[in-house]
Amino acid sequence: MSQVLGRLCGQVAGDAFGPVVQSVVQYLFTAGSRPLPAVIVNSPYQRNEVKLALQVLLQHHMVTFSVTRTSMVEYTLHPDRVLLLLRYARFLLLIKTRFGVEQEVILDELLRQGQDSAFQLVVRVTKRINESLEEGGKRVQPSTIRDKFCELVRGHYLQRCASLAPPPDPSAPPPAEDAPPPPPVVEGVPPLVEPEGERAFMPPAQLDMGAVQRAVDGRPGRPPPDDPVRWRVNFSRLDEEFRDQLVLNSVSRTCGEPAADVMRHLMALAAQTSRPWSPECGPVALTELKDRLTRLSNSVHADAVRYCEQYVRIMSEGETPYLVRFGDAGGGQYTLNMKRVMQNFGWAVAENVVQERFGSRAGRIFRLIRSKRYIEQDKIHEWAMIPPKEAKLLTYQLHQATFVSVCDLRKPGQQVAPGRLVFLFHLDFNHLTRMLIETCYRALLNMLTSRSAEASRHQRLYDKQQRVETLLATMRQQGVDDDQIAEVEEALTEPERAELARAAAVTDRLSLAETQLDQTLFLLQTCLRYSAMK
């Protein structure tokens, strides 16, 4: 892992949790797994502050602990989970669009807390929604929030955290000789067990709604028993939704909105028989897809039902097909090769980067090398129809920027001399993906740094604006006359208002660019994830 990634993780964690957490993140990224005394010694902050920072990181599952063979507890940082902080706004928008406001607030509370019990979560969400609905006179019931929470659990958007391991059963038979030894037990370190399979997505068996209502109303009463089950967000499920949305957006742009409806329902049928992150989805019969579209015709495009077979044929043909047909049963069986689709997306990103950075002719050379897989230098200008001198210059620039790789091939029966070797240009997809990911890390770090610098530069104006707005709100509540209100408003001069508007516009542009760059980063990381699969 690069130093840029370490600095980016520290910047993201510092913006979210403060400088103490930032120092702990940067040290654990550099040093790897380390015990608590080492983290405290290498931090400029006090012992209690470092322990609180580790507690926050553990609460949000950005750091995990493990017991070594020497019975020492070590803490390990997970950089990919730290970078998920950049995606929280997109997570909330996804859940709000898919379900509604109540589910969005539930997810927001869990993202803020890291993990929580169902009881405390329902109480906190109910209070928060009711406070926002006080002006309209409406109130939401805790039972409604409980049902929404269970809906998210059944959809695998929320999952159970690791729980305390049960005490050993003295009547249990001894373990087999070839069984792996149990982890060492250290005093003060609780042994945890991760729920397996569908057990991680079992909704809470029971919830004392009377106690929940008393807690919401603030009435005294017997406190409920402590719930040992804690819940957290299943980020893998949310990433799965983003991956599917990438495919659907691509199909919609290339084949039309009805084709996207056909693909959406085909993916829903394939998800019933395949694992979420399988490189190739399970087969779906055309007749089964038609029956599903006909049954749900009220919620899909009319052309998707009428021309289903034609759209499936279009998506299974062409240079970059989405679907693969491999059987004739049920009118033909089709499967979605997600690994190949994501690789095509990755190639498209690389081609766009080359074309924007080096020009259209360099993009033509890049596409030529990709189509030929291996090609000699003398053949590039002939096939790309570019003057030889310019083709050599562009190829050298692409090779210098490591977009193009070179391998040598010995001619059979010849001596091993530099003049007897044939140099072939080719592309390494995994190398290209990692290089582009590194570029995204560097660009994200620059954006976050620029945004922090912009905020620090105008901190005095922000404080003054906040004081003026607070004073104006108090004066309006007290019924002060308009002349005095206008006099307070003039405390913020026109040049200062213009400077604040300019700073807000710059911050908005940086936030938008950050969101778009995170989408590209997610696409490239997904490509690399599928490339590692066999």
pLDDT digits (tens, 9 = 90+) for 441-474: 999 999 999 998 988 898 898 888 889 888 888 8
Nearest CA among 322, 327, 355 for reference residue 341: 322
pLDDT attached to residue 194:
80
Residue holding tokens 């892992």? 1
pLDDT attached to residue 512:
92
pLDDT single digits (tens) 478-524: 888 888 888 888 888 888 888 988 998 998 999 999 999 999 999 99
101-166+190-233 shares the fold of 3-79: yes
Lowest mean pLDDT among 216-220, 278-282, 348-352, 410-414: 410-414
pLDDT attached to residue 471:
87
Q: Is pLDDT of 534 > 60?
A: yes
pLDDT attached to residue 525:
95
Higher pLDDT, 9 or 206: 9
Mean pLDDT confidence for 210-224: 77
d(CA 188, CA 181): 20
pLDDT attached to residue 87:
94
Q: Is pLDDT of 406 > 70?
A: yes
Residues contacting 74, CB < 8 A, separation 6+ = 33, 34, 35, 65, 66, 67, 68
pLDDT attached to residue 221:
67
Q: Is pLDDT of 176 > 70?
A: no
With bands split at pLDDT 50, 70 and 90, how would you rate the model's confidence at 185? low
Q: List phi, psi (to 5°) of 218.
A: 75, 20
pLDDT attached to residue 300:
83
With bands split at pLDDT 50, 70 and 90, how would you rate the model's confidence at 182? low
Nearest CA among 272, 238, 153 for reference residue 204: 153
CATH of domain 363-429: 1.10.10.10
What's the token pair of residue 175? 């373990």
Overall CATH class of domain 3-79: mainly alpha
Residues contacting 26, CB < 8 A, separation 6+ = 6, 7, 9, 10
- H-only helix segments in 18-171: 19-31, 36-41, 47-59, 79-83, 88-98, 101-113, 118-132, 142-154
d(CA 230, CA 479): 48
What percentage of the chain carries pLDDT values higher than 90?
50
Q: Is pLDDT of 321 > 60?
A: yes
Residues contacting 37, CB < 8 A, separation 6+ = none
CATH topology for 101-166+190-233 is: Arc Repressor Mutant, subunit A (1.10.10)
Say how many C-beta atoms besides its own lie within 10 A of residue 243's C-beta.
21
pLDDT attached to residue 223:
64
Q: Which amino acid is at 425?
A: F
Q: List phi, psi (to 5°) of 480.
A: -70, 150
With bands split at pLDDT 50, 70 and 90, how would you rate the model's confidence at 211? confident
With bands split at pLDDT 50, 70 and 90, how would you rate the model's confidence at 104? very high
pLDDT single digits (tens) 267-303: 999 988 888 899 988 888 999 999 998 888 788 888 8
pLDDT single digits (tens) 366-382: 999 999 998 888 888 88
Lowest mean pLDDT among 14-23, 192-201, 356-365, 459-468: 192-201
Mean pLDDT for the chain overall: 87
pLDDT attached to residue 417:
56
What's the token pair of residue 461? 């104006």
d(CA 330, CA 350): 39
**Strands (DSSP E) along 168-295, which ranges?**
192-193, 231-233, 284-285
Q: Are 118 and 203 in contact (CB under 8 A)?
A: no
pLDDT attached to residue 107:
96
Lowest mean pLDDT among 6-20, 88-102, 136-150, 401-415: 401-415
Provide the residue ranges of all domains of the chain, joining segments of one domain with +: 3-79, 101-166+190-233, 237-336, 363-429
pLDDT attached to residue 491:
84
CATH topology for 237-336 is: Arc Repressor Mutant, subunit A (1.10.10)
d(CA 135, CA 124): 19
With bands split at pLDDT 50, 70 and 90, how would you rate the model's confidence at 265? very high
How far apart, in Å, are the Cα atoms of 515 and each of 26, 94, 434, 440, 521?
23, 14, 20, 12, 10
Q: Is pLDDT of 180 > 80?
A: no
Mean pLDDT confidence for 310-331: 83
Q: Is pLDDT of 17 > 60?
A: yes
